Structure 1
Amino acid sequence: MIKLIVGLGNPGRQYEKTRHNAGFLFLDALASKFSCDWVSESRFQGMLSGCNASAGMVMLLKPETFMNRSGQSVGKIVRYYKLMPEEILVVHDELDFDAGIIKLKNGGGHAGHNGLKDIIAHLGSREFYRLRIGVGRPVAGKAVADYVLTSPSKDEWELINSAIDSGVACIDRLVAGDMATVMNKLHS
């Protein structure tokens, strides 16, 4: 059962509509579906919301640290609520998938994603779930940092939003821990 869903992104208006904020955008869509309000929680260095999915209450967290320090916020809330890594779902942008692709996995490395790298360091574990939202790769010669910190084209936005909608539609099964069903649905 998932008790905490973390969306990765960067705080600030200049980053709101960037590829790197796919995790924040997912949580905003989820909070909208459940009519949840966000509250700034300084003790967790993040924006927190609680949503009542059919499988039970789930906390939503948007770290207010920058991406490469996401683990500070995640570590604090995990220790406070005594959560196990397998009760955590981290939603993030994924360069290895084209825009519009969304996939679920458990464990693994960080693949160069600084937000995941910091979370792994603060949790001392890689065994949390990840919901990866494809944003595609930059064209040859364009720096990855510049690419993820810019807004996608209108067509890419539509694909990314479609992927987010697909993930949100699976939220009750995700919270319930029915990961095989979610993987079958998202990966087909």
Structure 2
Amino acid sequence: PDYWRLRIGIGHPGDRNEVVNFVLKPPRREEQDLIDESIDRAVGAWSLIGRGEWNAATTRLNARTTSAKPGNKKDA
């Protein structure tokens, strides 16, 4: 396709029999925090996108944050 998109992944529950429940149930609080953080990061990249700085925007969006790394918990 000849367009850009933003995709926020939700991971996998580990057991294929749990996928439907995993996708359709509301996220846990810590998962919702990560979703909100991802959306905030996407909004923050709009200024770069608006200036046509696609590479800088994708670099910013694809960079891992401390709270996005497995095993790290965001402070409450």
Q: What TM-score, normalized to structure 2?
A: 0.68
The residue that corresponds to 1:166 in the other structure is 41
**Correspondence 1:147 to 2:36:** no
**Correspondence 1:184 to 2:59:** yes
Larger proportion of strand: 1
Q: 1 or 2 for the larger relative contact order (CA 8 Å, sep ≥6)?
A: 1
Unaligned runs of 5+ in 2: 64-76
| Conservation of the 8 A alpha-carbon contact between 1:134 and 1:160 | no
Give, as a single letter, the amino acid of the residue that structure 1 aligns with 2:14: V
Unaligned runs of 5+ in 1: 1-125
Give the whole-Å Cα distance in 1 for the aligned partners of 2:29 and 2:35: 10
Give the whole-Å Cα distance in 2 for the aligned partners of 1:131 and 1:154: 23
Give, as a single letter, the amino acid of the residue that structure 1 aligns with 2:6: L
Identity score, percent: 29
Structure 1 runs of 4+ with >6 Å offset: none
Which whole-Å deviations, capped at 9, do the CAs of 1:61-80 have from their partners, x for residues lacking one? xxxxxxxxxxxxxxxxxxxx
User: CA offset at residue 187 of structure 1?
Assistant: 1.8
Number of equivalenced pairs: 62
Larger proportion of helix: 2
Give the whole-Å Cα distance in 2 for the aligned partners of 1:184 and 1:171: 13
